[in-house]
Copies of this chain bind each other. A is one copy, B any other.
């Protein structure tokens, strides 16, 4: 890949969708086990001879394994963290072997509620609501299988924002010997009551949609109305009030005066409607239920007795980035993790970045993040 003068540095280019399947049952935190387990994943860069340059990227609620590059030359949008992954980028693919997999319970190639349920005789019947309820710990233990298969004993770093940060913290506390560095963005050591409340309302919107059919909507029209409402709720929690004012204000979709109709009139309404509709095209409603449930169970202090007890389990160095306009995972949550890590003697950098983008800043404000992450990785 040659970079031409005055052109932006090219990213990872065309990338391959990969999958790996294990026949051995995965034992779940909630009890029981199931098999087979498939993970969809992508890799960028090359694993070095000592397998010591691997970085695992961990996606948020609506993300997937496609973190960087394009699947084909006709793709219009690159992977979700493309600005951060590539030659010369923060996750520099000239130096690091970068891996990203779709979470267990997901709908982008990994085993989830839309996967075929092997317990049914019908050949194409998906799990639906018979899929077991899973946790962040279950997601991470599935990822560990992938790393084993790739021959990676220890990760140079794990990195993730929001629910990706939950997984990074799970790696650092459940398998501390496998993680050298942890990069956390806009995340928390536990789901707050309000987060549970928003997730619960989103699930209610889906499960109260008659098209949900108890989870067995595959082959029928899916619960697109409930999903749209769920996504709209989520979307507002990702944005900041001030940025909503700046971006939409009280502007009307058409003209200067209201039309005095019940349907959407303000541009913020049309925007939300659109967000709800496009989400339906790319996400499975049951996956939304299972993944938000896994988020709600997330509670490191609860599991280990205290945040300090949880952080004392870690062996890694930590970088935390928070964003001052994020009200879903506010700065105070990152500050609490950083303070705990310092109390138990870990190396920790916490940078609170100014942003107007709210929680979404972790995906959008890459310019400020890039040098901080580059420097943190260079010292690993």
Contact = CB atoms under 8 A, between A and B. Distances in A.
A248 to B, nearest CB: 5
A241 B31 contact: no
Question: Considering residues A229, A241, A297, which has the most beta carbons from chain B within 10 angstroms of its beta carbon?
Answer: A229
A308 interface: no
Given A133-B260, A205-B205, 18 more contacts: A129-B262, A132-B260, A190-B250, A192-B244, A193-B244, A193-B245, A193-B266, A194-B241, A194-B245, A197-B236, A197-B244, A200-B232, A200-B268, A205-B229, A208-B229, A215-B262, A250-B299, A262-B293
Interface string A120-142: 00000000010011000000000
28 contacts: A30-B258, A31-B260, A190-B250, A192-B241, A192-B244, A193-B244, A193-B247, A193-B248, A193-B266, A196-B250, A196-B269, A197-B232, A197-B244, A197-B268, A197-B269, A200-B264, A200-B268, A201-B272, A203-B262, A204-B228, A204-B273, A204-B276, A205-B229, A207-B262, A208-B209, A208-B226, A208-B228, A210-B210
Interface string A281-298: 000000001100100110
Interface string A248-285: 11100000001011111010110011001000000000
Contacts of A209: 208, 225
The 6 closest A-B pairs by CB, nearest first: A30-B260, A208-B225, A133-B260, A193-B244, A200-B269, A201-B232
A201 B262 contact: no
Tell me if A's interface is mostly helix, strand, loop or mixed.
Answer: helix
Nearest to A258: B297
